[in-house]
A = this chain, B = another copy of it.
């Protein structure tokens, strides 16, 4: 795809927002270099982020910060540097991947958990949402005594004061916006083929990153419990379709392209 057309595609996907570079690089490593021995050269990182519209200086600052925070490390490779996830960074990345890349909602059920209002007890809130100080909606039954828990009827409707605690209005709006942008990308990529491996990688990174910013913010609860205009189900569907349609380039191919 020629450069102007690709820039237009990137802009249709990300809009006016420039992604936060630090966070975007976490997505790059998670998408392309999550394996233990994987290394990404500085050149590939530069070209990839430049395609997404990130300035070289911003990328260098972000790489520095990621290294300082223990996410990545680097080693010299001739005149170039190669970057890779630390053990800790890889663990973080691996922990988030199932949620980011899931083609199905994590849970189709939810449990209502209540703790003693007079004596709040800790409950495992992983993946769940606190509705009030003693009221939790959780994707699985808790294993703590002194709690009350019941599976929520499949047909039960959640009132606004509950759905608003499951997902903010802003995040619901973000998901609707992204669902529309992903549809545009699906139409564009279906019509025009001929993406280079680097373009493919950049597009995949940006798709994954856009969805990651939403999906890691929300509880792992059924989509039907989210407030309007939540469009997470559409986003998940489009992301899955696009990732299947856009072949994931091997790191070695990207390095070869750059070197060539």
Contact = CB atoms under 8 A, between A and B. Distances in A.
Interface of A: 112, 114, 116-119, 131-132, 134-135, 145-153, 156, 158-162
B148 A150 contact: no
Kindly name the residue among A153, A156, A161 whose own CB sees the greatest number of chain B CB atoms within 10 A: A161
Q: How many copies of this chain does one complex carry? A: 2
7 contacts: A112-B114, A117-B131, A118-B161, A119-B161, A145-B159, A146-B161, A150-B151
Nearest to A146: B159
Contact of A162 (B135, B148, B156): B148
Contact of A159 (B116, B150, B153, B159): B116
Contact of A150 (B135, B152, B161): B152
| Smallest CB-CB A-B distances: 6 pairs | A116-B161, A117-B132, A150-B156, A150-B153, A150-B152, A146-B159
Contacts of A145: 159
A175 B119 CA distance: 28
A153 B147 CA distance: 14
A162 B146 CA distance: 10
A128 B225 CA distance: 26
Contacts of A114: 112, 131, 135, 162
Nearest to A118: B161
